[in-house]
A = this chain, B = another copy of it.
Amino acid sequence: MRLSQFHLATVKEVPADAEIASHRLMLRAGMIRKLASGLYTWSPLGLRVLRKVETIVREEMDRAGAIEMLMPSVQPRELWEETGRWEKFGGQLLKIKDRKGQEFCYGPTHEEVVTDFARNELKSYKQLPVNFYQIQTKFRDEIRPRFGVMRAREFLMKDAYSFHLTQDSLAETYAAMYQAYVRIFTRLGLTFRAVQADTGAIGGNASHEFQVLADSGEDAIAFSDGSDYAANLEKAEALAPAAARPAPAAALQRVDTPTQKTIDDIAGFLQLSPRQCVKTLLVRGRDGLVALCLRGDHEINEVKAGKLAELPGESVLASEDEILATTGTRPGFIGPVGLPASIPVIVDRDAAVLADFVCGGNVDRTHCTGANWERDARITRVADLRNVVEGDLSPDGSGVLHIARGIEVGHVFQLGTKYAEALGATVVDETGKPQVMTMGCYGIGVSRIVAAAIEQRHDEAGILWPEAMAPWRVAVCVINPKNAPAVSAAAEALYQALRQRGIEALLDDRGVRAGSMFADMELIGIPHRVVVSERGLAAGTLEYRARGNSESRSLTEDELLALLG
């Protein structure tokens, strides 16, 4: 592409409302422009990158045997009523009324539509397994759209849905999709982890997220240094400590703690480690309040807590009024010693092996020291309640865990029969009997990948694209093209030589000064830069620099072509 024939519109100013690097750099590079909250136009430059991602996703889905189709973005309410999600999906569902008053939504996902398609198209087990996918525009009416295309309302997604007669068949396609995702993110040139994920509200048997590692990531990931174990922090199991609980050594005592409400306050006041304290959270149970006890240095894992049988499916802290009414004590002084018998006490595995610990006194402005389980405080049951932390043993027994930040760009699910059951999607099996189909679903946030790649790969000057995602692999920069026809001709010849070898090149023939040309090429992240100048021409060399390197090299054209080959 000749840049004079393209539309490049970089911006010097750092946009005020852009909070993260990818958002700032995409705006500054002119890859996207905001139309309205959460709605972005992809400029010609941005679209080139988006299409690179889309193409790799499509190639790998096809290679894995998935079959592409295209469903409407507008979906009728009736289908969403069949699964109950018209109400349950919540505010992210953009509801629409047409001119006749019929209700629709702008599809945030396509389980309903594809299952409806399948119940009409698939009649026999002989048609299974089949895996349909599409690359298509979705809309989620985020309450707070932000971070540019990272959390936009309208976005591009690859969604795939597989249909099976048996769980074994699903497991096979699930594994194939997992491998396809590994190939996709590897080909894209991104550092990523496939992590075990919670299946959450969507249900189902197994689920993995594909996370692009980046410090700015919203998700925390735990991974082992001794195996390939990796899980979303929500999901990562904290193993039970190997050592048993020591016998009590201290007597239970009460101390006045007039102003010390937090673990840090208490530990500081008593000059001991938060590891010697137990913190107690009162949450709303199915039947009155429930106490959750953790070691002072640990954090509650709300997903794990939400799954406790005593809780109604989610973990919600009790209000100050509820706590006061039930215990007679204010928050900050709650502890397991002397809690009303009506309150189940669920203790984290690590808190359960403490002896002689400090905890709230269940009386305003007091704490207990020398507290011991069984002797002083009830344990209803022990459970894994906490987030794993750096240095925990890996749940698979190999290595210790480290924590990294990630951006979720892909997700594979074993859905089971949830949607097929709701929509009555059956096929006849070998005996002629109708069977509800088993389903998997597999999503990739195509537009989000673009932002995630930038979060992972950027520097002060701009974006550092992996070669597979770069809008062009190499930029040919022409110094003073108008004043030096020989330079122009040499640049043109080099540009043609690159194109003939199938190397995507951008010829910067705009005639702007070298400084702003280089700044633009760095900002938009072109991996390789070649400068054609009068001086170089005289010496028979080209000045080459790799993006991210601060040193240039003089190369002959042959050396350059060999390097880029």
Contacts and interface: CB of A to CB of B under 8 A. Distances in A.
A120 interface: yes
Contacts of A137: 73, 137
B72 A47 contact: no
Interface string A18-51: 0000000000001001011101111110110010
A106 B96 contact: yes
A41 B154 contact: no
B7 A76 contact: no
Interface in A139-183: 139, 141, 143, 153-154
A137 to B, nearest CB: 6
Nearest to A130: B7
A5 B69 contact: no
Interface residues of A, number: 51
A513 interface: no
A189 interface: no
A70 interface: yes
A178 to B, nearest CB: 20
A112 to B, nearest CB: 10
A132 interface: yes
Nearest to A65: B5
Given A96-B106, A99-B91, A106-B96, A44 B73 contact: no
Interface string A73-109: 1111000000000000001001010110010101000
A48 B69 CA distance: 8
A220 interface: no
A35 B65 contact: no
Contacts of A68: 44, 47
Given A7-B127, A137-B137, A69 B94 contact: no
B91 A36 contact: no
Given A9-B121, A99-B143, A35 B73 contact: no
Q: Which of A5, A30, A33, A69 has the most CB of B within 10 A?
A: A69
Contacts of A127: 7
How many copies of this chain does the complex contain? 2
Interface of A is mostly: mixed
A339 interface: no
A269 interface: no
A41 B98 contact: no
A74 B33 contact: no
B113 A41 contact: yes
A73 B102 CA distance: 20
Given A5-B65, A94-B96, A73 B154 contact: yes
Contacts of A70: 41-42, 46-47, 50
Q: Which of A40, A99, A102 has the most CB of B within 10 A?
A: A99
A403 interface: no
A143 B6 CA distance: 40
A39 B34 CA distance: 29
A446 B398 CA distance: 55
A35 B116 contact: yes
A72 B7 CA distance: 19
Contacts of A71: 35, 41-42
A359 to B, nearest CB: 43
A250 to B, nearest CB: 55
A47 B69 contact: yes
Contacts of A76: 35-36, 39
Nearest to A118: B7
A67 interface: yes
Given A94-B96, A98-B94, A130-B7, A43 B72 contact: no
Contacts of A130: 7
A42 B67 contact: no
B132 A7 contact: yes
A326 B409 CA distance: 72
A74 B141 CA distance: 11
A99 B7 contact: no
Nearest to A136: B137
Q: Which of A6, A30, A104 has the most CB of B within 10 A?
A: A104
A72 B141 contact: no
A423 to B, nearest CB: 13
A154 B106 CA distance: 12
Closest 5 CB pairs of A and B: A42-B70, A36-B76, A39-B72, A44-B67, A91-B99
Given A47-B68, A91-B99, A99-B143, 5 more contacts: A7-B127, A41-B72, A44-B132, A94-B96, A96-B106
